[in-house]
Amino acid sequence: MADLDKLRKKIDAIDDEIISLLSRRAEVVIEVGNIKRAQKSRFYKPDRERQILERLTSQNKGLFPNDALKAIYREILSASVSLEEPLKVSCLGPLATYTHLAALRHFGSSAAFLPVDSIKQVFENVETGKAEYGVVPIENSNEGVVSHTLDMFVDSELQVVAEIILEISHNLLSRQIDRAKIKKIYSHPQGLAQCRGWLEANMPGVPAAESTSTARAAELAAKEPLSAAIAGEIAARMYDLNILERNIQDNRKNVTRFLVISKEFPQRTGNDKTSVMFSIKHKPGALYEVLLPFKRAKINLTKIESRPSKRKAWEYIFFVDMEGHIGDRKIRKAIDSLKENCLYLKILGSYPQGKVS
């Protein structure tokens, strides 16, 4: 017992030292904030945060796991930004949706989150200055692209400044503790689609109802004792629901990609992605001619998607993601060549490539 007490005292002493170091760090952060304010420089720099996390994890040779280290430092960085200037982030709401969870993973809990009812409102909040940043879903590995997000970029001048790649884990939530008593299941249409096989095998005959979000589904399940929701673990905590079954999605590799939008343009990090949108001339071989410069420059295109322009019949807008930054010579040269065969071209942003979290 004496040895245990001695070890606990060592832990207490280390914790005291950590608190002292965090206070010293906060003092320096406030000084940095004062300089940024005087220079009218932006307070939040995602490229700088990425550099910090990569440096710390590369230097971590101890027993503390890197994933946990990243999570802790995201909160330290989030709190640090709030000391400089409170950060307002708009996201598709209500709170406890997967979009909110993605925003939390990226900005930390010290940011002020402004949940709204539509992707359009997220864009409007950032455009009007109600929020510095917005987080919107762009595609799911199983269900494909979120077309409304793509459509919003056509008329918006906002830039993509980061991407968040979130592993989606669906859970069956309810006030009940006995799954057999469930009479109705709520979820967002994508949540229901991604769990269709599990529902057919395990909840046959139980009607499923669509909701505007997984968080709204959890809210309904909290009000209706014989109902359940398909939602994330954060919704269970927020609405005080029991997790009856975990990971009920049919495909365990279920990943959703989100984009962070802003009026700013991030600096190059060396591990970046560039997104562009364009429309092409209506002639044979036009798409081939447009893509040829990328092949010649050996630029990896990670995504290509087309959408009707909604301005002229049979006219399409293409959305393309590529590895590299617009500041890279070969990327710039390829995009300059692209202009020659396009009716319309817009660079949506160059930003750090995300990793699954």
- Catalytic positions, written as ranges: 256, 258
Residue 142 is encoded by which pair of tokens? 């199983």
Round to whole Å and give the CA distance between 295 and 343: 21
- The answer to whether residues 345 and 304 touch, using CB atoms and an 8 Å cutoff, is no
Are 90 and 116 in contact, with CB atoms under 8 Å apart? yes
Of 229, 249, 250, 353, nearest to 303 (Cα)?
353
Residue 102 CA to residue 357 CA, distance in Å, equals 9
CA distance 176 to 174: 5
3-class state of residue 247 by DSSP: coil
CB atoms within 10 A of CB 307: 17
The Cα 184–Cα 238 span in angstroms is 20
Q: Are 50 and 260 in contact (CB under 8 A)?
A: no
CA distance 339 to 107: 35
Residue 82 token pair: 């709030």
What single-letter amino acid sits at 54? E
